[in-house]
Amino acid sequence: MNINQPGLLMFFSAAISLYLSVYAWKRKSDPAILALSLLLFAAAIWSIGYGLEISSVDFGQIKFFGFIAYIGIATTPILWMIFAIRYTQKDQWLTKKMVLLFFSVPLLTLIMIATNEFHHLFYTSVAFHFDGKYYFQELHYGPMWYLHAIWSYLSGIFGMILFAKMLLTAAKENRLKISYFILGSLMPYAVNYFYISGIRPFGFLDLTPVAFIFMGALLVLGAHKIKLFDIKPLALNLLFDNIHDPIFVLNESRQITNSNPAARQLMKVLSDQKEEESKESHQKTSEIAFLIDSNDTDFIINNKTYYRSLSEIKVANQRSAGTLLILRDITEAKKAEKSLIESENRFRLILENMPILLNAFDENGLFIVWNKACEKSTGYSSQEIIGNPNAMRMLYPDENYLNKVILSSQNKNAKQNTYDLVSKKGEIRTITWFDTYHFLKIPGWSSWGLGIDVTDSKRTENALFMSEQQLRELNTSKDKFFSIIAHDLRSPFNSILGLSDLLLEFVREGDMDSLEKYIEVIQKTSKNTYDLVVNLLEWSQSQIGRLEFSPEYIELVSFIEEETKVLHGVAQSKGITIVSDFPSKTLVFADKHMLSTIIRNLLSNAIKFSHQGGTVFIKSSKQPKGLAIHIIDEGIGISQKDITKLFKLEENFTTKGTQNEKGTGLGLLLCKEFVEKHNGHIWVESKPGSGSNFSFTLPVLSTEL
């Protein structure tokens, strides 16, 4: 059950109708008043049932309360006709058989509604809808509904005909009084006609029960202005006198023609006159003139606040007969309103100035709250965010990430979520949101949450993590460094020392052939050791950040030629041919020293693992973000298992060449690090026995590929 504004209107209508019914019931000895009391009671049932129907959110309840409303709907026209018969002194028509005949169609109507699902004679179809705000039925009428409608309208028209005939034969001074009954009956039927014709507030609301309020108000006005019930007294005099709000009836000359006790008491306060003087008819209205002339609607009188309502009283031919002035005491309501405003201001002041981020959404997904903490964290003001349908896209520009945020925020099991939003300055801010609305509902807020900006702590956490990673890498580098010094440098020096002893012996013996042979071995060992020392030095400098990165534009063809010349002797010793295939005028943007190290190491490896008399190719290919250089050999190749160990310091992976050439694996680590300095990447494609293709990318200025 969701009590809404239309429902409250129906309950208000029911209360007024029931109030009038009770007061009329006190004079039920008069048959006409008894009929009027029952009529108003039926209208109250109609209003209550209909109010509960349109406030329900369960279709079973809607159907049930719709049936309750129809008890009033079906009987109200018949009771109106009986009231007209009683009032116009046609009591002889109301025999038991006639009364049964009058109520036969209402009874049949209720039976048809209760059993409609079996025959669909009253409603051919019933559909339930929700327009985003209200639940209601969409009805398609059947033949029995039209029988009910015709019977109801005939009953109402018959009652109005009786009053019209009475009007034509009544004395002149009574005609206006009888006209009030006709006007009163026209209101509900006119409103109901508009409803049946499809003219409905909110597309479904039936205001017919509300029309009975105006009918009752019209009868109250007639009773006290023109003594309406001098013809047939009703309970409205008692109602008028017992209303606690001051009511003044003014004629066209702005003289008070009638007032209730509350109004007379107010006049006594205003004029400081005796109560007897305030009861005089046709007194001038100087004391209450300010209530009529002022544009204000709220007035403070004797420490009480009143709301003024002015209504023009019109009779036949829309002729004005005066003014109805009603003052409603709203003192307590004003106090409550003031207290509520103060409470809301305090609440808003707290929300606006607390350091925790707070935002809230309406049912349409638009921001309705965006406090100062949100403004400070994101840079967006509340004016830029609140009510802006693009606000979420401003905070989360990436559509996929935005969808992820929306999806995860709808998960009621997740009490907190952490998102990265983009501030107005383009800065990434990390916010942890606590979705408190899942257990604390606030009217008007479909969802809301409290958040903490954890950007700084996240940065600190990341910095600590990076420092830890760097320390681990440095420790690994240190271990690798000491391992190379302890093993890879010691071995060649041991060889050189041993060979030098042999050389001395060969010199003493004059064995020049052996001397030449071992000098070549020493030369090769020294060359390998030198390369190792160079790589080791460069690698250590890169690890401690002392290796300067100075990129420049390099003409690649001539650069490759120079590098191949350096390794020409090594290649020639194994009968290996180096083939370079580059387009002319190819410029790359690279550090010359680093590029030389990359080419030298990859080319040395290609020669090392190539067979005697093989070929090494150096080629290039165009890539989306630069130029790829490929160094391809026809050597022994690498298994997939061993490929995963390359470029990793911790693996310490190395193999011997085709002529047992040794290595440390340090050269590939240098290549990877130097390539990444250029924002490129390095990879290898290889199979055992099919050679290897080592490739890396570089930024390129222009190329004729």
Of residues 106, 88, 9, the one with CA closest to residue 53:
9
In order, the DSSP letters of 337-392 are HHHHHHHHHHHHHHHHHSSSEEEEE-TTS-EEEE-HHHHHHHS--HHHHTT-TTHH
Name, in order, each residue with C-beta under 8 angstroms of 75's C-beta and a sequence gap of 6 or more.
42, 103, 106
Cβ neighbours for 687, distance < 8 A, ≥ 6 positions apart: 637, 638
Give the residue among 188, 136, 139, 133 at the shortest CA–CA distance from 160.
188
Which residues have a Cβ under 8 Å from the Cβ of 297 and sit 6 or more positions away? 307, 308, 309
Q: What 8-state DSSP symbol labels residue 93?
A: G
Nearest Cα neighbor of 152 from 95, 108, 198, 116 is: 108
Residue 35 makes CB contacts below 8 A (sequence gap 6+) with: 79, 82, 83, 86
Give pLDDT, residue 235.
Answer: 39
CATH T-level topology, domain 241-272+286-335: Beta-Lactamase (3.30.450)
Asked if 175 and 167 count as a contact pair (C-beta separation under 8 A), the reply is: yes
Domains 241-272+286-335 and 355-460 share a fold: yes
Phi, psi dihedral angles at 142 (to 5 degrees) = -105, -175
pLDDT at 577: 92
Does this model's pTM top 0.85? My answer is no
Q: What is the DSSP string of 11-66?
A: HHHHHHHHHHHHHHHTTTTSHHHHHHHHHHHHHHHHHHHHHHHHH--SHHHHHHHH
Whole-number Å distance between alpha carbons of 113 and 108:
9
Three-state SS at 677: helix
Backbone angles phi, psi at 128, to 5 degrees: -105, 135
CB 617 within 8 A of CB 630: yes
Domain parsing of the chain, residue ranges: 5-229, 241-272+286-335, 355-460, 548-699
3-state helix, strand, coil in the chain (%, to 5): 55, 20, 25
Q: Which residues of the chain have pLDDT under 50?
A: 220, 223-224, 227-238, 273-284, 316, 486-487, 702-705
The closest of 354, 342, 329 to 263, measured between CA atoms, is 329
Total residues belonging to the chain: 705
- How many Å apart are CA 149 and CA 196, to the nearest integer? 10
Residue with tokens 């039927």: 189
Fold assignment, 548-699 = Heat Shock Protein 90 (3.30.565)
Partners of 649 in beta bridges: none
Q: Radius of gyration of the chain from Cα atoms?
A: 50
- The fold of 5-229 is Rhopdopsin 7-helix transmembrane proteins (1.20.1070)
Query: At residue 296, what are phi and psi to the nearest 5 degrees?
Result: -75, 160
Tokens of 446: 């479909």
Q: Which CATH class is domain 355-460?
A: alpha beta
CA distance 180 to 165: 14
Contacts 24+ apart (CB under 8 A), 469-475: 473/649, 474/543
pLDDT of residue 683: 94
- State the pLDDT at residue 487: 46
**Joined tokens for residue 351:** 């929300």
Which H or E element spans position 404? helix 399-409
| Nearest-angstrom CA–CA distance, 623 and 696 | 10
Classified as helix, coil or strand, 230 is helix
Contact 454, 432 (CB under 8 A): yes
Give the per-residue pLDDT at 629: 94
Residue 376 CA: distances (Å) to CA of 338, 354, 379, 380, 424:
32, 12, 6, 8, 10
- Nearest Cα residue to 548 out of 677, 670, 668, 647: 677
Residue pair 99/35 in contact by the 8 Å Cβ criterion: no
357 near 452, Cβ under 8 Å? yes
Query: Model confidence over 643-701: pLDDT tens digits?
Result: 888 877 666 566 776 776 666 667 788 888 889 888 999 999 999 988 999 999 998 76
Which residues, 6+ apart, have CB-to-CB distance to 55 below 8 Å? 1, 2, 3, 4, 6, 7
Q: What is residue 88's DSSP assignment?
A: T
